[in-house]
Amino acid sequence: MSLTHFAPATNLLWKYLESVDVDPAPLYKKADINPELLLNPTARISVNSVDKLWQQATEVIEDPCFAIDMAAFWHPSQIGALGYAWLASATLRRAVKRAVRYIHVVTEDVDLAVADTPAGLKISVDLEGSLFTLPQHHDLILSILMHMCRFNFGDELIATRVCLARPEP
C-alpha cells in the first residue's frame, strides 16, 4: 500500500505556481493528480504523485529556494482539520503537539517530534526514508512550520537555531 497525502495540501504549490506565471494544471495532470481533487476535503493522493509534481515544479521554477516564499500562500484550510485545530490552540506548545499527533492526516511520509529544551521548544522533522528528498521539500516544511508558529505566537517569534538535513543553499 502506498503512502498518501491530503490532496488540498497541494493547493499551496498551485497558488505559488500561478504567482510566478506558471500554469499549474499541466504539471498536476502529468503527475497524475486530478486538479479537481484539490477542492475535495476528503481526497487523498499518492505521495509518489506529489513527489513527481515537485520534481516538475523544480524544473520550471528558476529560484532553487522558491519553497521558502511559499509560506506567504499558506492557509489553514490547506491542511484540513489540523489547520483549524492549530489555530484553535491556546498556546504554541498545544498547537505543535497537535501537529505531532495528527501530521499523518496531512501526509503519511513525514514525522514530527517536539521536545522541551533549556533553549525552548524544539521541533524535529523526520524525513528519514521519505520520498520527499528534494531540498525544496525541506525548505517548505521549515518555512510552513515557522509561519504556523507565528500564527499562534506572533510575528516576533524568531527561531534560535535551524538545522538542515541537506546541503546549505
Quick one: pLDDT at residue 67? 93
Q: Confirm whether 55 is domain-assigned.
A: yes
30-40: string of b/e by CB count within 10 Å (b at 16+)? ebebebebbee
pTM summary value: 0.89
Residue 119 confidence class, pLDDT cut points 50, 70, 90: confident
Q: Confirm whether 79 is domain-assigned.
A: yes
- As a whole number, mean pLDDT of residues 3-26 equals 95
- Containing domain of residue 141, as a range? 4-153
Number of domains in the chain: 1
CATH of the domain at 63: 3.90.1520
